[in-house]
Chains A and B, each alone.
Chain A
Amino acid sequence: QKEVEQNSGPLSVPEGAIASLNCTYSDRVSQSFFWYRQYSGKSPELIMSIYSNGDKEDGRFTAQLNKASQYVSLLIRDSQPSDSATYLCAVNMWGGGADGLTFGKGTHLIIQP
């Protein structure tokens, strides 16, 4: 059973602080990992992808991957109220996955002004 687990939240972070979003996955052969942002009433938007162990930085966003621990995270520095959204973790589980990407249920992030 393929699973991607996220804490549903809400995760409340003060403006200007670092928001840390976590995700674990069950399939050891997973190769590609993605973070999507979904504003209320909108469709998911791809914001980060990561394929290798370590950190990947893009502006205020940093994705971290640890395949040995089957763990991927997203850090948002200098959090802004506009970062308030649901963040979906998605994992590309090679090896029989019928739907390509398996999505977590998302973490609801609230940035408090």
Chain B
Amino acid sequence: GAGVSQSPSNKVTEKGKDVELRCDPISGHTALYWYRQSLGQGLEFLIYFQGNSAPDKSGLPSDRFSAERTGGSVSTLTIQRTQQEDSAVYLCASSLARRDGYGYTFGSGTRLTVV
């Protein structure tokens, strides 16, 4: 597609429920990143996919968080047993390659609210 597409744009869920967030990167972009941004805070790196390589999960805050990328394209971030501190905007970004010097293109984000 023309840009990075994320869905849903907003999600309200009850504490303890599982949620799935979807990211469809720009066609041809091999690198895909998930970030989290809490209100008034900077970008917190979560996970990174590059082609068919094993993902870099070093930023995932707990084992309740997981992510997949199917066919080197669409990615799903899953949060199990959501907690109120998980409330944030979850941003997906893609680029041509890791360390490619081209910068990232971000999607519009999913605003997650855990009540």
How many chain A residues touch B (CB < 8 A): the figure is 24
CA separation between A19 and B54, bound complex, in Å? 42
8 Å CB interface, A33-78 against B:
34, 36, 42-46, 49, 51
B104 touches A88 (CB 8 A): no
B41 beta carbon closer than 8 Å to chain A: yes
Contact among A90, A92, A98, A106 for B48, CB-based, below 8 A: A98
A101 beta carbon closer than 8 Å to chain B: yes
| Interface class of chain A by DSSP | loop
- Residues of the B chain whose Cβ atoms lie less than 8 Å from the Cβ of A43: 89, 91, 106-109
Contact among B31, B58, B89, B91 for A100, CB-based, below 8 A: B31
CA separation between A34 and B105, bound complex, in Å? 12
Q: Which residue of B lies closest to A43 (CB)?
A: B106
Query: Given the known A-B contacts A43-B91, A44-B43, are A101 and B104 also in contact in the complex, defined by CB atoms under 8 Å?
Result: yes
Query: Given the known A-B contacts A98-B56, A99-B56, A100-B48, are A45 and B106 also in contact in the complex, defined by CB atoms under 8 Å?
Result: yes
B42 touches A99 (CB 8 A): no
- Residues of the B chain whose Cβ atoms lie less than 8 Å from the Cβ of A103: 42-43
Contact among B48, B89, B104 for A46, CB-based, below 8 A: B104
CA separation between A98 and B101, bound complex, in Å? 15
Contact among B48, B89, B91, B107 for A99, CB-based, below 8 A: B48
Chain A nearest CB from B101 CB (Å) reads 4
Q: Which residues of A approach B to under 8 Å, CB–CB?
A: 31-32, 34, 36, 42-46, 49, 51, 88, 90, 92, 94, 97-101, 103-106
Q: Can you spell out 17 A-B residue pairs with CB atoms less than 8 angstroms apart?
A: A31-B99, A31-B101, A34-B103, A36-B103, A43-B89, A44-B43, A44-B106, A46-B103, A98-B58, A98-B59, A99-B58, A100-B33, A101-B103, A103-B43, A104-B42, A105-B41, A106-B42
